[in-house]
Structure 1
């Protein structure tokens, strides 16, 4: 796989309302997903790093990645890199808000089927250095897009598929923005889309190999190891 100031209360609320409106993950959507998961006999997963199987497994896969991304951007905003501009702060704060919303949505939707809270390992990232931070951001965003595109076909429930499709569209916007911050005017680089203008994708196993490099709490997916 190829390598990738908090807002005021009013601003954060506006960001939340905007996301819920456009991504369709408001209370009604959470209720639909939660009700669907309750109909199945899922074991308590709060102390497990195994994402499980079926649709809940794919959602846990997404939840793990969103936990990692949210933790990363929370750190970026808490300890801004040297020379960060007002515009960069605004962009990265918006992305942080989106990732926190994604993380919290999956946690609520999964309920007792959710994997445990993960502990990140950002020792490879120099948060005081712009190149290090944006390089990590690109890795996380590009990996996120590849992950959703690579696992989407495994989702059986159309409600889950709809939500995943909306969230990956937001992740792709993040990836384009980060790419442009690194190389102005690039937006969508050749390592993000193929010759047909389609996003690259990776398997669950490939994505977790990359993600686990930034997690102290390793995530496993034994039920998906045969999916290519």
Structure 2
């Protein structure tokens, strides 16, 4: 019998928490330390990430910090989504599907916690997701939402890459977006097995390149899935 353990803003079972903790240590801890050191070296100080006169709004900030908070916001959304998927499995979820979706959940938790630890005092608050429009009991609805989140995540990282000034941050973002692209591919394969849709022409252009979408457009696309108002006007500036 497994007991639940609080992890971030939600609970996972003891086995899942152990897995995440191992991954955080082996895959992220060293990078987080280096990342945090770079933030200190660049002279970043704690900023007020709330917009004056709008107490419920969250300002992502400017420069590289803004880009990192932008990524952190998206990782919060994805981690919360997959946590709910595993907490409330859709009808008929197979063992194979649960294994895949649990693996993705664990990756997203690691990504979220990585950005949170690295940004430290510069991090935005924990966001409140809004998944009221998703029927978590329906396989079609869950995988459709997962496809949207993963495709959006990949396009978001691609679009924000050119805004990153520090090459070390760009390298880290490149490592994370490659994982997000793997997620996008496997979700598409679950929806349409053994087809070419894992890299469909709706996301890959004639040059074999993934889409790159600007932060403003991404934030507009995910607005309905977050209860908080997010201001990304200065991201990368």
TM-score, length basis structure 1: 0.88
Summarize deviations over 1:173-208 as a string: whole Å, max 9, x none.
000000111111232112121111110110000000
Q: Residue in 2 aligned with 1:30?
A: 32
SS across alignment from 2:111: helix
Q: Residue in 2 aligned with 1:101?
A: 110
Q: Does 1:91 align with 2:94?
A: no
Matched residues in 1 for 2:125 and 2:136: separation? 26
Summarize deviations over 1:137-191 as a string: whole Å, max 9, x none.
0000000000000000111111111110000000000000001111112321121
Q: Does 1:43 align with 2:52?
A: no
- Is the contact made by 2:20 and 2:109 (CA closer than 8 Å) also made in structure 1? no
Q: How does 1:40-119 map to 2 (within 5 A)?
A: 40-45=43-48, 49-119=58-128
Measured on the aligned residues, the alpha-carbon RMSD in Å equals: 2.0
In the TM superposition, what is the alpha-carbon distance from 1:222 to its structure 2 partner?
1.7
In the TM superposition, what is the alpha-carbon distance from 1:14 to its structure 2 partner?
5.4
- Number of residue pairs aligned between Structure 1 and Structure 2: 216
Q: Residue in 1 aligned with 2:53?
A: none
Q: Residue in 2 aligned with 1:193?
A: 204
Structure 2: where are the runs of 5+ without partners? 1-11, 51-56
TM-score, length basis structure 2: 0.85
Matched residues in 2 for 1:8 and 1:171: separation? 23
